[in-house]
């Protein structure tokens, strides 16, 4: 009788161990299946993303003459002041709108260029800010603001303290410091803004 009880217990242990093993195998298969699906989704998303960059004519593609995405990674500081007010590029509307050149990480002071031959004009196009030698135009949720050269006010551009006539076609270099002003600033005010620009931290990552 004791032997029957021991035998029964042994069978119960074997059955339990068998069930545990079976459950573990089942869980392993389920986990492997889920992992495979996740990998497939990531692969498809990555493929679609880079196909869009390479093929489409949307803002995901670079400007004419741009190099291969990732062939360069340059950084520059920028300060834009309109009538003395600093323009805030850290807002979500201006963050990472193109993989070729952008602001990122909620930072509005550093421009990241990720391909060769990508001009600043393309950056402003990507964030839907009109920018040329004569006007600075940007929309907000209430109205469109336009700041153009006239008898009283003008746009002024500086790269590394040097005044330049245009910026739209300029391709930034590593550690450049770029100043855009609109107003009627005197030289003392310009110098103060250049000093402010020199103090900006250039985020590199």
Per-residue pLDDT reduced to its tens digit, 60-86: 688 999 999 999 999 999 999 999 999
**Cα 94 to Cα 131: distance, rounded to the nearest angstrom:** 14
List the one residue out of 99, 104, 110 whose CA is nearest residue 62.
99
Show the 3-state SS of 52-114: HHHHCCCCCCCCCCCCCCCCCCEEEEEEEEECCEECCCCCHHHECCCCCEEECCCCCCEEEEC
The contacts of residue 190 (CB under 8 Å, 6+ apart) are 156, 158, 181
Per-residue pLDDT reduced to its tens digit, 140-155: 654 468 999 999 999 9
DSSP designation for 132: S
Least trusted range by pLDDT, from 7-16, 21-30, 61-70, 114-123: 7-16
Asked if 48 and 40 touch (Cβ cutoff 8 Å), the reply is no
Provide the CATH topology of domain 74-198.
Answer: Ferric Hydroxamate Uptake Protein; Chain A, domain 1 (2.170.130)
Strand pairing partners for 61? Answer: none
Domain boundaries, the chain: 1-55, 74-198
Region 122-128: mean pLDDT is 96
Q: Is-above-0.85 flag for pTM?
A: no
Higher pLDDT, 35 or 153: 153
**Cα 53 to Cα 39: distance, rounded to the nearest angstrom:** 21
Predicted local distance difference test score (pLDDT) of residue 9: 54
| pLDDT band (50, 70, 90) for residue 21 | low
Predicted local distance difference test score (pLDDT) of residue 22: 62
Computed over every residue of the chain, the mean pLDDT equals 82
């Amino acid at each position: 009788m004791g032997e029957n009880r021991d035998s029964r217990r042994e069978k119960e242990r074997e059955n339990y161990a068998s069930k545990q093993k079976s459950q573990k195998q089942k869980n392993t298969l389920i986990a492997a299946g889920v992992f495979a699906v996740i990998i497939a989704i990531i692969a498809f998303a990555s493929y679609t993303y880079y196909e869009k960059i390479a093929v489409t004519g949307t803002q995901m593609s670079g400007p004419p003459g741009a190099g291969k995405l990732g062939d360069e990674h340059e950084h520059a500081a920028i300060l834009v002041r309109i009538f003395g007010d600093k323009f805030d590029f850290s807002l979500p509307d201006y963050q990472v709108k193109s993989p070729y050149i952008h602001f990122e990480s909620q930072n509005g002071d550093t421009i990241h260029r990720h391909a060769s031959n990508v001009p600043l004009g393309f950056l402003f196009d990507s964030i839907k800010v009109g920018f040329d030698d004569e006007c600075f135009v940007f929309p907000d949720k209430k109205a469109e603001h336009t700041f153009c050269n006239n008898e009283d006010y003008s746009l002024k551009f500086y790269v590394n303290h040097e005044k330049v006539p245009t910026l739209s076609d300029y391709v930034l270099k590593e550690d450049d410091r770029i100043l855009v002003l609109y107003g009627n600033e005197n030289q003392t005010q310009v110098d103060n803004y250049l000093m402010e620009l020199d103090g900006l931290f250039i985020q590199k990552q």
